[in-house]
Amino acid sequence: MQELLLAGYVDERREELLATLTEWLRIPSISADPGHAPDVARSAEFCAVLMRDAGLDNVEVLPTGPDGDGSGGPAVYGDWLHAGPEALTVLVYGHHDVQPVDPLEEWASPPFDPEVRGGVLHARGCSDDKGQVLMQLAAARGVLSRLGRLPVNLKVLVEGEEERGSPHFEDLLRRGGDKFACDVVVVSDTTMVAADVPSTTVGMRGLVAFDVTVRTARSDLHSGIWGGTVPNAALVAAQMAAALHDGAGRVTLPGFYDDVRELSPQEARSQAELPFDEQELMDKAGVGELSGEAGRTPYERTGTRPTAEVVGIHSGYGGPGIKTIVPATANFKVALRLVPDQGPACVVEQFRAWAAAHTPRGAEVEVVPVGGVSPLVTPVDHPAVAALSRAVERVWGKAPLFERSGGSGPEEALHRVLGAPVTFLGVALPEDNFHAPNERFDLAQFWRGVLAAGELLVELGRLPRAAGRAR
């Protein structure tokens, strides 16, 4: 087997890298909580120091917010642009902000007091995403120390608002102009199927949500006097929510599946090889049954197929005891995940048509769309994906399987605004509890990730610039 470029470097730097990551993880950079804004700013400054230590130039903390007014969480940028005009320019993306830690009582150790137990690091942000950002910076530093140069022109952009929906990220990309221009984007904010089953993400689902309000009367009515005679807003909302799916688990919006792109044969074969244990999945989720679109595997349902979920429903009285009323108003919220080639704007019209068709006489229904992210997929035969696959295979000893993430993020904006293909080198594991108590990062995956990031720089450096652009 070919010797890995950074094998000796990682062996020499393990303690230093772990100490650096531990120090960064002590900063509670919770972007969703305005009270932690100073911590997010402190985390950005820490990241800037890491970039300089890695040998990057032009390092700066970038303000975000409407027109860059500084009200948003700061991003961090650095570059190394000495590989020459014929070399690929690669932009590495990650984020330094973290999720809230509630419920605190479920943590086995304090979330911002990192602790290693059995070769696994436990702390908020260790796998999502500070550990994976440091993985990339360590690789760049290592390659520079080994070769004296990088095989590509490298740009690194680390966001500070990803965990609250990247509200100002696209504006940051547009305001940056040529600063962020690149041939290939590498994202390290995803997972592998298992430590012994390497995989790479090739797509992210889109997202559009709806806030639906139902009104049937001016105010709540006495159920003894009016019950059985007037429309019940709670019942209307429940009936509408139940009507979102048919008996086969398919979404009932008119035309919802018309634009869904089927998998390529190569991706379909890879999906079929993904390991699946139904009982293990149920145990992880804490459920007694799996459900969803009939005839589709759980991997298909959560990555390659569109879905609709009722994420909240409320009406009437919810306090102790009982209140005998006919509710006049009700509310339910729906989040729909989209796949290529579904567009948020089209789905908004489909949902409005569906809501109108399911509004009974005597009820008024208001639909308010919330957000809108388009889906993203990078062809599995793209040269950049092939380069990433070779890098992963060199470290894990076998080629990665292709999977799609069920989540949605700023990756589509990176692709659309920068016009570059997006590849994913993520090494977190499904059991790493990102967004949940007891977030963790398997240190063996961390070390492998540094090795793979170094190999990826080498592989991308072998590609001509023309191979990098989006197709």
Residue of 132, 164, 200 whose CA lies nearest to 410: 164
DSSP string, 66-109: GGG-S-SPPEEEEEE--S-TTS-EEEEEEE--B----SGGG-SS
Any residues with CB less than 8 A from the CB of 79 and at least 6 apart, and which? 56, 57, 58, 153, 154, 155, 156
pLDDT for residue 469? 62
Q: Which amino acid is at 15?
A: E
H helices present in 262-363, as ranges: 265-273, 278-285, 298-299, 344-357
Sign of the dihedral through C-alpha 55, 128, 333, 329: negative
Q: Is the peptide bond before 151 cis (omega within 30 degrees of 0)?
A: no
Sign of the dihedral through C-alpha 380, 381, 386, 392: positive
For residues 106 and 110, what is the distance between their CA atoms, to the nearest angstrom?
10
Residues in the chain: 471
Residues paired with residue 90 on neighbouring β-strands, in sequence order = 154, 184
Collapsing DSSP to helix, strand or coil, 198 comes out as: coil
Q: Whole-model pTM?
A: 0.88
Residues paired with residue 15 on neighbouring β-strands, in sequence order = none
115 within 8 A of 178, measured Cβ to Cβ: no
Backbone dihedral angles phi then psi of residue 168, each to the nearest 5 degrees? -120, 10
Pairing of strands 120-122, 440-442: antiparallel
Q: What is the pLDDT along the chain (471 residues), one digit of tens a residue?
A: 578 999 999 999 999 999 999 999 999 999 999 999 999 999 999 999 999 999 999 999 999 999 999 999 999 999 999 999 999 999 999 999 999 999 999 999 999 999 999 999 999 999 999 999 999 999 999 999 999 999 999 999 999 999 998 999 999 999 999 999 999 999 999 999 999 999 999 999 999 999 999 999 999 999 999 999 999 999 999 999 999 999 999 999 999 999 999 998 999 898 888 888 889 888 878 899 999 999 999 889 999 999 999 999 999 999 999 999 999 999 999 999 999 999 999 999 999 999 999 999 999 999 999 988 899 999 999 999 999 999 999 999 999 999 998 888 899 999 999 999 999 999 999 999 999 999 999 999 999 999 999 999 999 999 998 777 644
CATH class for domain 206-260+306-373?
alpha beta
The tokens of 155 are what? 């740009």
Residues paired with residue 61 on neighbouring β-strands, in sequence order = 76
Domain boundaries, the chain: 7-204+375-467, 206-260+306-373
7-204+375-467 and 206-260+306-373 agree in CATH topology: no
Greatest Cα pair distance in the chain: 84
The HSE-up count of residue 308 (CA atoms within 13 Å, CB side) is 24
Indicate the Cα dihedral angle 280, 284, 290, 292, nearest 10°.
-120
415 within 8 A of 422, measured Cβ to Cβ: yes
Backbone dihedral angles phi then psi of residue 295, each to the nearest 5 degrees? 80, 5
Any residues with CB less than 8 A from the CB of 435 and at least 6 apart, and which? 99, 128
What Å distances lie between residue 326 and 42, 265, 355, CA to CA? 52, 54, 22
Chosen CATH of 7-204+375-467 out of 3.40.50.300, 3.40.50.1820, 3.40.630.10, 1.10.150.120: 3.40.630.10
99 within 8 A of 124, measured Cβ to Cβ: yes
Residue of 267, 464, 440, 314 whose CA lies nearest to 383: 464
Sign of the dihedral through C-alpha 222, 228, 231, 233: positive
Collapsing DSSP to helix, strand or coil, 53 comes out as: helix
The HSE-up count of residue 140 (CA atoms within 13 Å, CB side) is 25
Region for 287 from its dihedrals, namely left if φ exceeds 0, alpha if ψ lies in -120 to 50, beta otherwise: beta
Identify the burial level of 60 via C-beta atoms within 10 angstroms of its C-beta, where 0-12 means exposed, 13-18 middle and 19 or more buried. Answer: middle
The tokens of 80 are what? 């190394």
Collapsing DSSP to helix, strand or coil, 39 comes out as: helix
